[in-house]
């Protein structure tokens, strides 16, 4: 107890050093330049939190019977309860538009976009073990491919979808070919640099991309040539089926479109894992040198993983462009890459179900939490609650970052650590 108290006290002392200047003092942009404002209460609260947190952590770790529990935990084998989770999730995803609520369908579309990106990146990071920090670059290539092809050549979504995927895969090969010989962490930095290069190019190559203003009026997808439109043309979905034109039709169509694309990604991944190529990816992740000595062409294997992942990002990018009808370089920052990476890592690096759950929690959960908080705030007339909800987007990335660190420290194999080797030695 004394030891725990002393430990907590020391932690609080360090926290004081960390938070007293950075939280206790604020640089305010005043009219006359910067002014220094003090905020002692906030700093004190944070130091207090560290003290209490550390004390609880120590007492929890030191509670009696710890060793016995540790031994039991090491023998713990996760049961296959998740057999039912995936079908239930899928059924819920398919049935969601029946609620008829535009809000939920929009939110579902957003979540599914991240699920698809997560599954795509999962091939690269989770299966092949290549850390790609510039995944958003391929997303951007896909989105801009579609937007530019539509703008200059008047091509429709369905023709551009495969083209966007091919373009993104092409860029993946182009980047991957020289750099995939590098060690894992060099690769991470190079992909990061590549992501930034693409973004800077998009901003500055104004004659092609319209720079920071972005591209507007990107055409919407059609259903076998039928448009989703409110006008009374003959080729609209509403006219063909003889129903009243509503914008919700398009929203629901987009939802099923991304659901289909995401499931395609999942299906391809699951199939690939059973091919020799997929086996090679997983082997590569576990031990590159062993792979090389067994005669696997490491560069080609990595390259296919990289290109396949990039292709799915390209598909998702084309979908993003057609859904928003507007894209600008703003949407393709490093934060997006980090978000998708966070989803893959939290999902357990390689687990398909884990990625879906992580995307659901991190994208959908936070969004729902924000709305819940602001509703509660309005009901109670509490400005504090509403204010908290308004701050959530600001705190979102902070939570992401903390979750990444906590995940690595506490459960490096992910929330749903069901990932098992596809093939096992017996």
Partner 1 sequence: MMNASGVPALAYALQQLINGVTLGMIYGLIAVGYTMVYGIIGMINFAHGDIFMVGSFLSLIALLGLASLGITAIPLALALTLIFAAALAALYGWTVERVAYRPLRGSFRLAPLISAIGMSIVLQNFVQVGQGARVKPMNALLPGGIELMNDGNFAVQLSWMQIAIVATTLAVLAVFTWLVTKTPLGRSMRACEQDLKMAGLMGIDTDRTISLTFVIGAALAAVAGLLFLLYYGVIDFFIGFLAGVKAFTAAVLGGIGSLPGAVLGGLLIGLIEVGWSAFLPVEYKDVAAFSVLILVLIFRPNGIMGRAEVEKV
Residue whose CB is less far from partner 1, 55 or 342: 342
Given candidates 345, 373, 416, 418, which one binds partner 1 under the rule CB under 8 A?
A: 345
Q: Provide the 8-state DSSP code for 103.
A: H
Helix residue ranges per DSSP H, 122-246: 135-153, 157-179, 184-204, 206-209, 237-241
- Regarding 334 and contact with partner 1 (CB under 8 A), the answer is yes
**Which are the contacts of 407, defined by CB distance < 8 A and separation ≥ 6?**
345, 346, 414, 415
Per this entry, what is the length of the chain? Answer: 426
Given candidates 238, 321, 338, 359, which one binds partner 1 under the rule CB under 8 A?
A: 338
3 state SS of 144? helix
CB of 120 closer than 8 Å to CB of 313: yes
Q: How far is the CB of 424 from partner 1 (least distance, A)?
A: 18
Element (H, E) at 26: strand 25-30
| Tokens matching residue 258 | 């991304």
Element (H, E) at 30: strand 25-30
Kindly identify the residues of this chain, within the stretch 170-209, that bind partner 1 according to CB under 8 A. 178-179, 182, 184-186, 188-190, 192-194, 196-197, 200-201, 203-204
- Regarding 140 and contact with partner 1 (CB under 8 A), the answer is no
Q: How far is the CB of 323 from partner 1 (least distance, A)?
A: 26
- Regarding 395 and contact with partner 1 (CB under 8 A), the answer is yes
Quick one: 206 exposed, middle or buried, by C-beta within 10 A (0-12, 13-18, 19+)?
exposed
- Over the window 110 to 129, marking each residue x when it contacts partner 1 by CB under 8 A and - when it does not, the resulting string is ---------------x---x
Structure-token match 């130091």, residue found: 47
Q: Which of the ranges 14-22, 61-69, 93-101, 369-377 carries the binding residues for partner 1, by CB under 8 A? A: 14-22
Given candidates 4, 5, 7, 18, which one binds partner 1 under the rule CB under 8 A?
A: 18
Residues found near partner 1 in the complex (CB under 8 A): 14, 17-18, 21-23, 25-29, 33-36, 125, 129, 131, 133, 178-179, 182, 184-186, 188-190, 192-194, 196-197, 200-201, 203-204, 289, 334, 338, 341-342, 345, 349, 394-395, 397-398, 400-405, 407-409, 412
């Amino acid at each position: 107890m004394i030891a725990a108290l002393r430990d907590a006290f020391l932690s609080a002392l360090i926290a004081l050093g960390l938070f007293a200047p950075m939280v206790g003092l604020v640089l305010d942009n005043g009219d006359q330049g910067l002014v220094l404002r003090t905020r002692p209460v906030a700093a004190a609260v944070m130091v207090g939190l560290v003290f209490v947190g550390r004390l609880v952590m120590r007492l929890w770790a030191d509670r009696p019977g710890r060793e016995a529990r540790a031994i039991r935990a090491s023998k713990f084998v996760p049961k296959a309860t998740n057999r039912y989770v995936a079908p239930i999730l899928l059924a819920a995803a398919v049935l969601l538009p029946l609620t008829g609520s535009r809000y939920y369908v929009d939110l579902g579309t957003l979540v599914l976009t991240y699920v698809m990106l997560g599954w795509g990146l999962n091939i690269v990071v989770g299966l092949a073990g290549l850390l790609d920090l510039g995944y958003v670059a391929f997303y951007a290539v896909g989105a801009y491919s579609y937007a530019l092809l539509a703008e200059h050549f008047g091509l429709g979504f369905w023709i551009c979808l495969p083209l966007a995927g091919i373009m993104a895969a092409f860029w993946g090969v182009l980047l991957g070919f020289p750099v995939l010989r590098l060690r894992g962490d060099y690769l991470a930095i190079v992909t990061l640099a590549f992501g930034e290069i693409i973004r800077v190019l998009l901003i500055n190559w104004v004659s092609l991309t319209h720079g920071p203003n972005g591209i507007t009026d990107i055409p919407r997808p059609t259903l076998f040539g039928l448009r989703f439109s409110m006008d009374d043309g003959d080729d609209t979905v509403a006219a063909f089926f003889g129903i009243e034109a509503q914008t919700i039709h398009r929203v629901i169509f987009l939802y099923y479109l991304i659901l289909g694309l995401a499931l395609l990604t999942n299906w391809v991944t699951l199939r690939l894992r059973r091919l020799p190529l997929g086996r090679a990816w997983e082997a590569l992740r576990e031990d590159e040198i062993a792979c090389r000595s067994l005669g696997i062409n490491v560069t080609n294997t990595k390259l296919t993983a990289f290109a396949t992942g990039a292709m799915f990002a390209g598909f998702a990018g084309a979908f993003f462009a057609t859904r928003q009808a507007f894209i600008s370089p703003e949407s393709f920052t490093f934060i997006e890459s980090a978000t998708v990476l966070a989803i893959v890592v939290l999902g357990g690096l390689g687990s398909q179900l884990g990625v879906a759950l992580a995307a659901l929690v991190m994208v959908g959960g936070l969004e729902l939490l924000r709305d819940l908080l602001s509703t509660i705030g309005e009901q109670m007339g509490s400005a504090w609650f509403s204010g908290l909800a308004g701050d959530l987007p600001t705190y979102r990335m902070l939570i992401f970052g903390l979750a990444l660190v906590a995940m690595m420290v506490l459960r490096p194999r992910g929330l749903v650590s069901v990932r098992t080797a596809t093939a096992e030695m017996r």
